[in-house]
Chain A
Amino acid sequence: MENPNAVVSPDERPQEKVKPLNHVIIRFVGDSGDGMQLTGTQFSDTSALLGNDVSTFPNYPAEIRAPQGSVYGVSGFQVHIGQTEIHTPGDEVDVLVAMNPAALKTNLSSVSKGKTLIIDTDAFVKKNLAKAGYTSNPLEDDSLESYRVIAAPITQLTKESILDLGLDNKSMNRSKNMFALGMVYWMFSRPMEHTLNFLKKKFAKKPLIVEANTRVIKAGYNYAETLELLPNAFTVLPAKMEPGTYRIIMGNTATAWGFLAAMNNSGRELFLGSYPITPASDILHELSKHTHMGIKVFQAEDEIAGISSAIGASFAGDLAITTTSGPGLALKTEAAGLAVMTELPIVIVNVQRGGPSTGLPTKTEQSDLLQALYGRNGDSPLVVLAASTPSNTFNFAYMASKIALEHMTPVILLTDGYLANGSEPWKIPDISKLPAIDPHFAKLHDKNWEPYKRDKETLAREWAIPGMKGLEHRIGGLEKQDVTGNVSYDPQNHELMTRLRREKVERVADIIPPLTVDGAQEGDLLVVGWGGTYGSLFSSVKYLHETGYSIGLAHFNYINPMPKNTAEVFGKFKKIIVAELNTGQFHLVLQAKFPEHKFLKFNKIQGLPFTVLELTEKFKQLLTNQ
């Protein structure tokens, strides 16, 4: 499709007018119906294709379609692109694209003075200003004086560029996000091809919509080109990344795919029993797309049936998983105990969100750690893992499956809203090269087989599944007699079995990698983190270490059991601080386990990730107050 408007492609620009930047952070904000998620995704995908490292984070409201123009209906998408490695979606926004007053009002605090605001002036009418709580128009008073404001009548210009297409007003309005995207594409010297192709595919059956969006994005691009308010364009050159084939992947997709890889490599069929819950539902959606590969996806009547059906499927020999978020994990508690007692392999994914109760469904938090570790009746140990980047949820979903199947134990995999919805480039692995998964089945007709006879090394029992002749047996939630698995109320046996179940989980430490330290290997300050905070902690520690401070980062992916060298790592530093997005849950665990150390703590409970800035300030303060 040829566009009537000629466009100067980024390659043809006079080079002296294009200023290279090391990295840039852009946030697109508007009404939840304004298409900000799509706009942000297009910008990050295009940048990834140019070879940038990228990290993204959506910030959307719990309401599906909150009233237009309201502050609680504001939806945002932040993109961080870089020429160097990027580990977080970024703290301080360089360019804020605000589609209405509410979006500006709720996001301005993340933009420092001197940074750029791109604003749709058409949305700054009395009604919208009032909804956002503005008493005067910020475009007309001097409140935005110290920002570089690019005020454009985006809605009007959008309409003008497609007036002749005969679309209704609502449809025309829907394209205005493309105008903003076009402006930002020009500003950062991005080509439009990827987005144009995307539009063609997405609206293949609606050529008029393709035409409208194509015209609008080009109109936005040309507008920026001719606008004198934009004195120069910028670019972010490709990052140095390991050669290979990449894709941009979101955490929840990577989690789902990790289980697919585990299915593939274990020879087991995959069973998912799940009940929809934010922000975990995308794992259910993703696996539902692939049932033709032998995945049994069962949307259950509730959280309890989700895990119960998984236990039933595990009993029958499947790689069985259940996915949920905090309140759902609470409901699954009793059944998780059944899996502990019956020593059946299941993986429980908890995509953590703000709690307690319904809490902050769309916001991130790390406050389910103690629930995962201890939230069951009885002495009820299970394995707990935590992924730490959107893409490594793939690896930990895989490892969780491997551990469950080989050690005959339930495993809880913790991710969080930030990892689940965040995205980054992912070098696509060759799944045949992942560690093998080898479930230990009973041998057919094995006369000596007993339901609770254990492997000497791992203490795992052997798996006998219905259909295996001669191995018919009964298991259940009542205490089991050692070896035979018969019901037993014997006091000595109960103590023995309780200790065996704990020891079995502890022996998983034999196969997990040692704890590694980023930055200084010994010295003044060790920062300890776990799970989804890795990007911010790493960025902060790396910066301080490079600046000359004696600081290291020990980030945990294996929470129970912990790596065997944990005590050794702790012993190498003068001070240890545990940073986490809760009131200090991991801190509590570590203080109890390693009483010989005094652990400091740094906590944030705002439903938001750590900023690198706040971490750096805190660590610096500890490093200078010796």
Chain B
Amino acid sequence: MSENTTVYTYKDFASDQEVRWCPGCDDYVILRAVEKALPQIGKKKEDIAFISGIGCSSRFPYYVDTYGMHSIHGRAPAIASGTKLANPDLSVWVITGDGDSLAIGGNHFIHVLRRNIDLNIILFNNEIYGLTKGQFSPTTELGLKTKSSPYGNTQAPFHVGSLALGANASFFARVPGNNPKAMTEVFVEAEKHKGTSLIEVLQNCVIFNDGVFDDITDKKVRAESQVWVKHGEPMIFGAENDKGLVLKDGHIEVAKLGENGVTEADIMVHDAHKEDPVLHFMLSRLRHPMVMGVIRSVRRSTYGENFSNQVKQVQEKAKYHDVQTLLNSGDTYTISDN
């Protein structure tokens, strides 16, 4: 880890390229939140790489003044894995969307989580294909009318959190796309986490799926519809901080403090570090209210650590350490001049 000697502000991370998302798109909010997180992660600009796939979100690297690659559809986790393994000192960020990571790139998405390569993945989930102009995506709800489902979507959706936890994700967080301050905090947390960090952003597409998250993210309802969780703290929410999550009969339910004898002591305390993912899974699937913040953050060995530890062990026992010795080793024979 290189110590950051330069003090950056968010402006240092804006590139000279004109940002070309639709006016009003949450992508602008995410970009600004990232620009604000980067000065806080203790990395030099030249030691940061943003790698994206294809889609509206994937234009992102052009707008951040670090190293970056706008790659091909769905492959960003695989490309970023190569970049990180080639240079473990880098802070590598994957920018992807619900189509990019869960449809065409589904395979790379689950495998990067399984391997726990130390990357940060920001998944812009708008439940629609934006760049190709409005077809349903793998996270689109059943029944939604889109360009490619004029009579309603007949394909059941993926649930991002369930898929990720099923793939043994060590870090999963969710944030609404209209809350830059919270987003910045979660991005900084994600960078600190050793292993693959997945952040799902509920990102509103103003053109093709406008308002899809309004019941969760609208400023008028969000106090009642979002539960912000923090490790070690009780899961209390509500405009009056008067509600909390309790575990009852194997389900998570909302309980009102003061009603039916419920006190703060009855409210579940969030344990993001618990290795058993069952509660994280249940929390991630709540729809009303929806859980926000770092739902799971578990330390398990990364692929990079496993690989380099093994290399060290092999190095100690190896009989040769250079290529020429290898070429000359084993069954060789000499033909003499006669």
Interface residues of A (CB under 8 A from B): 45, 48-49, 51, 238, 241-248, 257, 260-261, 263-264, 269, 271, 273, 290-293, 296, 298, 300-302, 304-305, 308-318, 320, 334-335, 337-338, 342, 428-432, 465-478, 486-487
A-B contact pairs, 18 of them (CB 8 A): A238-B335, A242-B335, A245-B332, A247-B331, A261-B323, A261-B327, A290-B326, A292-B314, A308-B75, A308-B79, A308-B108, A312-B82, A466-B67, A468-B46, A474-B62, A474-B69, A477-B70, A487-B62
B46 touching A271, Cβ below 8 Å: no
Min CB–CB distance B187 → chain A (angstroms): 19
Q: Is the CB of B15 within 8 A of A474?
A: yes
* B328: Cβ under 8 A from any A Cβ: yes
A312-B61 contact, Cβ under 8 Å, with A242-B335, A474-B68: no
Assuming A467-B46, A472-B67, is B82 touching A298 (CB within 8 A)? yes
Chain B residue at minimum C-beta to C-beta distance from A344: B69
Q: How far is the CA of A361 from the CA of B336 in the complex (A)?
A: 40
Bound-state Cα–Cα, A476 to B81, Å: 16
Please determine whether A305 and B108 come into contact, CB atoms closer than 8 angstroms.
Answer: yes
Beta-carbon contact of A51 and B335 below 8 Å:
yes
Most buried by B among A241, A291, A308: A308
**Contact status A304-B89, CB under 8 Å:** no
Chain A-chain B contacts (Cβ-Cβ < 8 Å), number? 199
Give the chain B neighbours of A48 by CB distance below 8 A.
333
Taken together as a complex, chains A and B put the C-alpha atoms of A471 and B45 apart, in Å, by: 10
Contact A241 B330 (CB under 8 A): no
Residue B276 interfacial (CB < 8 Å): no
Closest to A248 in B: B331
The answer to whether A298 and B49 touch (CB under 8 A), given A248-B331, A304-B75, A335-B75, is: no
Other A-B contacts than A246-B332, A316-B49, A487-B62, 14 sampled, CB-CB below 8 A, are A244-B335, A245-B334, A248-B331, A260-B323, A271-B82, A301-B108, A311-B71, A312-B86, A314-B82, A338-B71, A467-B89, A469-B45, A474-B17, A474-B61
Q: Name the A residues within 8 Å of B72 (CB-CB).
A: 308, 334-335, 337-338, 477
> Are A301 and B107 closer than 8 Å at their CB atoms?
yes
Q: Is the CB of A471 within 8 A of B46?
A: yes
Q: Does B85 contact A (CB under 8 A)?
A: yes
Q: How far is the CA of A252 from the CA of B48 in the complex (A)?
A: 37
Contact assessment for A291 and B111 in the assembled complex, using a CB-CB cutoff below 8 Å: no
- B9 contacts partner chain A, Cβ-Cβ < 8 Å: no
In the assembled complex, the Cα of A246 lies from the Cα of B334 at a distance in Å of 6
Q: What's the Cα separation between A468 and B44 when bound, in Å?
A: 10
Interface residue? B164 (CB, 8 A)? no
CB of A614, distance to nearest CB on chain B (Å) = 33
Q: Which residues of B lie under 8 Å from residue A45 when comparing CB positions?
A: 331
Please pick, from A246, A318, A342, A475, the residue contacting B86 in the complex, using a CB distance under 8 A. Answer: A318
Residues of B contacting A241 in the complex (Cβ-Cβ under 8 angstroms): 335
In the complex the two chains form, is A293's CB within 8 Å of B82's CB? no
Q: Given A246-B335, A301-B111, A476-B61 in contact, is the A315-B324 Cβ separation under 8 Å?
A: no
Min distance, Cβ A191 to any Cβ of chain B, angstroms: 13
A296 touches B85 (CB 8 A): yes
Which residues of chain A are near B7, meaning CB under 8 Å? none
CA distance A318 to B17 in the complex (A): 28
Residues of A within 8 A of B111 (CB): 300-301, 305
* A408 CB to nearest chain B CB (Å): 15
Considering the complex, give the chain A residue whose CB is closest to the CB of B16. A486
Contact A309 B81 (CB under 8 A): yes
- Whether B321 is near chain A, meaning CB under 8 Å from some CB there, is yes
A375 → chain B closest CB, angstroms: 16
Do residues B326 and A247 form an inter-chain contact, with CB atoms below 8 A?
Answer: no
Cβ-defined contact, A312 with B333, below 8 A: no
Least CB distance, B269 to chain A, in whole angstroms: 37
Interface assignment of B322: CB less than 8 Å from any CB of chain A: yes
